[in-house]
Amino acid sequence: MSTLSSSHCSASYSSTSNARRQRSTKLSSIPKRFVPVKSARNSYQNVVLLQDGAVSSTMAPIENDSTLKKLKDGLLSATSSEECEDVVGFDGNDKNSTVSITVVGASGDLAKKKIFPALFALFYEDCLPEHFTVFGYARSKMTDAELRNMVSKTLTCRIDKRENCGEKMEQFLKRCFYHSGQYDSEDNFTELDKKLKEHEAGRVSNRLFYLSIPPNIFIDAVKCASLSASSANGWTRVIVEKPFGRDSESSAALTNGLKQYLAEDQIFRIDHYLGKELVENLSVLRFSNLIFEPLWSRQYIRNVQFIFSEDFGTEGRGGYFDNYGIIRDIMQNHLLQILALFAMETPVSLDAEDIRNEKVKVLRSMRPLQLEDVVIGQYKSHTKGGVTYPAYTDDKTVPKDSLTPTFAAAALFIDNARWDGVPFLMKAGKALHTKGAEIRVQFRHVPGNLYNRNFGTDLDRATNELVIRVQPDEAIYLKINNKVPGLGMRLDRSNLNLHYAARYSKEIPDAYERLLLDAIEGERRLFIRSDELDAAWALFTPLLKELEEKKIIPEYYPHGSRGPVGAHYLAARYNVRWGDLSIEQ
Ligand SMILES: NC(=O)C1=CN([C@@H]2O[C@H](COP(=O)(O)OP(=O)(O)OC[C@H]3O[C@@H](n4cnc5c(N)ncnc54)[C@H](OP(=O)(O)O)[C@@H]3O)[C@@H](O)[C@H]2O)C=CC1
Ligand SMILES: O=C1O[C@H](COP(=O)(O)O)[C@@H](O)[C@H](O)[C@H]1O
């Protein structure tokens, strides 16, 4: 794909995302002021009062002009709900440029479930440029009207702004088109190019291709898009979905294949966990709070846990899953990416390259996983309350004798000065008793704790634990020791709790919304660079090969249970207890 224009145009889009970042800095640095937050419809609705350091907010519309004037007199700028308005205002409203987003594999599950709804949400929030077009591309035969019908069934409205949703949907659907073609046909992509040009109508054309197709056809599609449908005068970017190979070799082959047609800065490797709100917040929490930053090392942290669980099985994706397993599906990417963000050194700045440099360094400081530090499991059938839940191998697309793990627990280590000896535990599983993703930071004991005798013999129950609940029901809470009110001296553990639903009235955007917007803006911070990917695979490839060559048999656990007991023994080897399984979570 032509690389000529990517830098030219990405520069203008980067400036918008810088503006987005700077705006939030501006807000947080304004003490003692009234800051009205302008809503997307230009009415002042969300007023944040920052007085003497105190922050409060109201959702009540401001109808009184004099109040508004007073507010305006003392204010600087606004944020949050108008974020996108300003972003688009920068260059999206540029009459001379346009963005065309082509969803390759538009008939598929991910496109319907995530991509079209995320694009609509961005449109709904006024985050897309004035001139944009969405094209679906796949082999299935469909008319524009049929695509629109398919897409319309997947769209939902933001809970806090339903009034004009139907109207917005209509407007969005009018911007959606479809082209049927093969993934390896340059001719078919040339036809697509022709249609894109018609819609671009002579403007500077910026093109984003989202590869939502099985990985074995990534290169074919990239080749054809590159040779036949690149932008001639704007940028061309490609979002690539995981899996990025199944080991170091296949991942390197994929990278080489992509780089035959794309420059690295055109490739946006997506890991949607990086787009989740609480994962984004991880660096804010650590680097902007004095009560956390100095504690972030082996000196105070005893272990860190990254936990992912789903309360359903592979359901319909067994064919894909059996070739990958839970370690490749969740650990090597989602959990490892969070770990890298958690453990990296302070980056020089918030720029994408500075952050990704630090992530690579920490990944390269890690010890490749050892077989004895891993437990694998696979779910078996279980009957509860008269209902029988299937085993993994009951899935018709899974071989009956499959040894593919649907659960894994692992202990990882970072051999650098900050983290020497601290176990980083990961646990991921399907068909478990609950659905969730969280980070747990367990701190060391307080040395010479005056209150030791109040805790009894189990001192572990007195250590602090910071929990970042990524999903569902986002929250950050810190377990502290507290005196139970009364005349005696009894202590308990209580939570300092930041519960998002209670604290913030705004709906949390889906990870795909943030990532699509970033790709349009040319913001690469949340996408995986090829050297990060190499470092990630280097940690897991030897283990994955050993598991497969030795045909290690997974520990079977009942569908809907808490997973194999082996996970407890693994944690116990490192003197750790899984925080999610303790009585008081
Ligand atoms: N679904 C999910 O939740 C997630 C998916 N992903 C990744 O996103 C990508 C898309 O996923 P998903 O939508 O589930 O995939 P699908 O299996 O639904 O495939 C997407 C589209 O690709 C075409 N296709 C499917 N199989 C083939 C084939 N063998 N040869 C050529 N074309 C084929 C089909 O379109 P047509 O026949 O019309 O051409 C299909 O609609 C994959 O790389 C997947 O690993 C990542 C995370 C989550
Ligand atoms: O990438 C994947 O993620 C989903 C879980 O994503 P979430 O945002 O719903 O938590 C997982 O189900 C799937 O197996 C995996 O490929």
pLDDT tens, position by position, 329-369: 999 999 999 999 999 999 999 999 999 999 999 999 999 99
pLDDT confidence bin for 258, thresholds 50/70/90: very high
How far is the centre of ligand 2, averaged over its atoms, from the C-alpha of 310 (Å)?
9
Say what the pLDDT of residue 158 is: 65
Given the cut 0.95, state whether the ipTM is greater than it.
Answer: yes
How far is the centre of ligand 2, averaged over its atoms, from the C-alpha of 176 (Å)?
26
Which one of the ligands is nearest to 430 CA?
Answer: 2
In which element (H, E) is residue 301 found? Answer: strand 301-309
| Ligand 2 pocket, mutate which of 212, 317, 329, 470 (most atoms under 8 A from CB) | 329
> For the segment 460-505, what is each residue's pLDDT rounded down to a tens digit?
778 999 999 999 999 999 999 999 999 999 888 899 999 999 999 8
> For the segment 70-97, what is each residue's pLDDT rounded down to a tens digit?
334 333 223 334 566 444 434 445 678 9
Say what the pLDDT of residue 455 is: 74
Say what the pLDDT of residue 450 is: 85
The mean pLDDT of 381-407, rounded to a whole number, is: 95
Higher pLDDT, 404 or 76: 404
Q: What percent of the chain has pLDDT over 70?
A: 82
**Domains assigned to the chain:** 6-14+87-241 (3.40.50.720), 31-75 (no CATH), 274-448+528-581 (3.30.360.10)
> For the segment 267-276, what is each residue's pLDDT rounded down to a tens digit?
999 999 999 9
Annotated active-site positions, please? 334
- Residue 376 pLDDT > 80, yes or no? yes
Q: Where are the beta strands (DSSP E) in 127-217?
A: 132-138, 176-180, 204-211
289 contacts: CB under 8 Å, gap ≥ 6: none
How far is the centre of ligand 2, averaged over its atoms, from the C-alpha of 308 (Å)?
10
Is the Cβ atom of 521 under 6 angstroms away from ligand 2?
A: no
How far is the centre of ligand 1, averaged over its atoms, from the C-alpha of 219 (Å)?
14
pLDDT confidence bin for 454, thresholds 50/70/90: confident
Is the Cβ atom of 241 under 6 angstroms away from ligand 1?
A: yes
* Phi, then psi, of 465 in degrees rounded to 5: -140, 130
Q: Which range (112-121, 155-164, 513-522) has the least confidence?
A: 155-164
> For the segment 216-239, what is each residue's pLDDT rounded down to a tens digit?
999 999 999 999 999 999 999 999
* Phi, then psi, of 210 in degrees rounded to 5: -105, 110
Alpha helix (H) residue ranges in 288-345? 318-322, 325-326, 336-343
Read off the tokens for 549. 């060559």
Nearest CA to ligand 2 atom 15: 329
- Residue 41 pLDDT > 60, yes or no? no
| Ligand 2 pocket, mutate which of 314, 334, 395, 512 (most atoms under 8 A from CB) | 334
Is the Cβ atom of 241 under 6 angstroms away from ligand 2?
A: no
Is the Cβ atom of 89 under 6 angstroms away from ligand 1?
A: no
User: DSSP letters of 240-262?
Assistant: EPSP--SSHHHHHHHHHHHHTTS
In which element (H, E) is residue 427 found? Answer: strand 424-429
Number of the ligand 1 atom closest to the C-alpha atom of 110: 13
The mean pLDDT of 360-386, rounded to a whole number, is: 97
